[in-house]
Copies of this chain bind each other. A is one copy, B any other.
Amino acid sequence: MQPKEFYEQENLSPITYKYSNVVEVFSCISPIQKIQVLAHPFFIKILVLDGVVQLTEKDEFFYHEMLTHVPLMAHPQPERILILGGGDGGTLREVLKYDTVKTVTIVEIDPEVVSTAKRFFPNIAKGFNDPRTCVVHMDGCEYIEGLKNEFDVIIIDGPDPVGPAQNLLAPQTLSFAKTALRQNGIFAAQTESLHFHREHIIKTQKSLIELFKFVDLYTQAISTYPGSWWSFSIASMMINPRAVRRCLEIPTRYYSSEVHNSSFFPPKSLKKLLNGELDW
């Protein structure tokens, strides 16, 4: 197949990312979305949903490690984990590294994403056959409605908050998530780019502040997500997520307790961001 150019269809971004020398190795239209797998000389394989890059083999570990290990290392004993979204398996892979973890429920609306990941990204999707993993194919918001006191950590690993995915961070869903958490549970979610989606971050943070005692924001630059200054929102009723509570006894490429500490947005800056004094 002739290499071609791929233009990301990321409508929330003022910059369009163009990838050259791309070969489409797989494409399908599921009932939910268009799924593509691209091969690229630098990023190796790329997973694309509805025209938007979800991950690349080259750098997915930055995203998945930061989304997973910050909440799990802040928790004293994470045993029961819920992932909403995350059908590529990257977050699941990181969660399963913990011996403390007894069950992981992953709620991915689109079974075709899971089967595509298993087929083309075996190093990322390797946790689906783990005996601790339970895969549910339904809408994440519907799944958690009515659950009480079930999980130590809930992670929302969703796509951009447009269309159906915007419900994943709606106040109602966050309220369900709070109820579904155990008393000392921790909630974490990817919440887009500080450069391009500041208002979305502020809105989500304010919704979380209505519900939780501890609410915080940490970041990591990701080259393949437009705006790149990627934010993660984290919240808990009992646990300050800035503190690392255990020794890191699992293999990671990037995450460490040092990275944990330095990834949090400075407290005074966060306060200024939320009250509108820090904008651009």
- In contact, A258 and B262 (Cβ under 8 angstroms): no
Copies in the complex: 2
Is A195 on the interface with B (CB-CB < 8 A)?
A: yes
- Closest B residue to A14 by beta carbon equals B42
Return A46 CB to nearest CB of chain B, in Å.
Answer: 11
A86 to B228, CA, bound (A): 24
In the complex, chain B residues whose CB is within 8 Å of the CB of A229 = 221, 223, 228
Cross-chain contact A256 with B262 (CB below 8 angstroms) = no
- With the chains together, A226 CA to B226 CA distance in Å? 10
Shortest C-beta distance, A126 to chain B (Å), equals 19
Min CB–CB distance A124 → chain B (angstroms): 14
Mark each residue of chain A from 7 to 31: 1 if its CB lies under 8 Å from any CB of chain B, else 0. Answer: 1000000111111100000000000
Q: Can you offer 23 A-B residue contacts whose CB atoms are under 8 A?
A: A7-B18, A14-B42, A16-B17, A58-B280, A59-B195, A59-B280, A193-B223, A196-B223, A219-B221, A221-B228, A221-B229, A223-B226, A223-B228, A223-B229, A228-B228, A253-B280, A254-B280, A256-B266, A258-B269, A259-B266, A259-B269, A262-B262, A262-B266
